[in-house]
Amino acid sequence: MSTDQLEDELRSAFTRAAAQITVPEQARHRLLQRDYHPRSRSRRHRRLAELSIAGVAASTVLALGLAGVFGSASRTPARDSETIRTAAFTLTKNANGTATLTLTADQMFNPGALQQAMQQDGIPALVETDSYCSSSPAPPGAAWAATLSLQLPDGTPVSPNQPVPADAVTVINPAAMPAGTELFFGYFNSDRTLTGNLIYTSSYSCSSGLPSHGAG
């Protein structure tokens, strides 16, 4: 047995094996649609540095989850509501001024699309992937709680400290947002988890890594 013969067998075995590997279409789609360049983070970081914010406050974190909410996504919007619907999420502007956000499980999340939809609904928001942003000091917890909440389809509130029910939706109340704040949403690809937070537009910082679950 020559080394050449063995090497030929190895090449042949690899070729046969690799030919049987089918790249899943969803995986290919996710890989090619993902945004691999961040938006203006460095500019925002510089702004934070210039402001020299002192002190550290515990940030308020809401793990939104928003998984498996197909039933909610298919609800008929109220007559006087406006709905922005994509494969990955549905954003419904309700008659009372709130907005309902529903994510669809296993659909590729496009942060730019969600941020644009929020802006169209008049909700100032920053949406990132694999990044978590917070202000220090953080906006008052009461303002956060009034702005961002999880609800069951029947309107029952879901505590941020309890597991997120499969049919929960996120309700955003822009009217409760203090002046100078915006919503932050961070989607973590590795965990397929969406987190929400309220931040000061002019002073916040971002870091990679998933924040711990629940209010901090």
Q: Which is nearer to another protein, 78 or 166 (CB)?
A: 166
Q: In angstroms, what is the minimal distance from the CB of 113 to another protein?
A: 17
Quote the CA–CA distance of 128 and 61 in Å, as a whole number. Answer: 15
Q: Considering only CA atoms, which of 81, 89, 82 is closest in space to residue 109? A: 89
Q: Least distance (Å) from another protein to the CB of residue 24? A: 6
Q: Smallest distance, Å, CB 105 to another protein?
A: 3
CA atoms of 117 and 26, how far apart (whole Å): 24
Distance between CA atoms of residues 170 and 140, nearest Å: 19
Q: How far is the CB of 213 from another protein (least distance, A)?
A: 5
Residues 6+ apart with CB under 8 A from 189: 34, 109, 129, 130
Closer to another protein by CB, 37 or 79: give it.
Answer: 37
For residue 92, what are the β-bridge partners? 83, 100
- What are the residues binding another protein (CB under 8 A)? 1, 3, 5-7, 9-18, 20-21, 23-24, 27-28, 30-32, 34, 36-38, 63-68, 103, 105-106, 163-164, 166, 189-193, 195, 210, 212-213
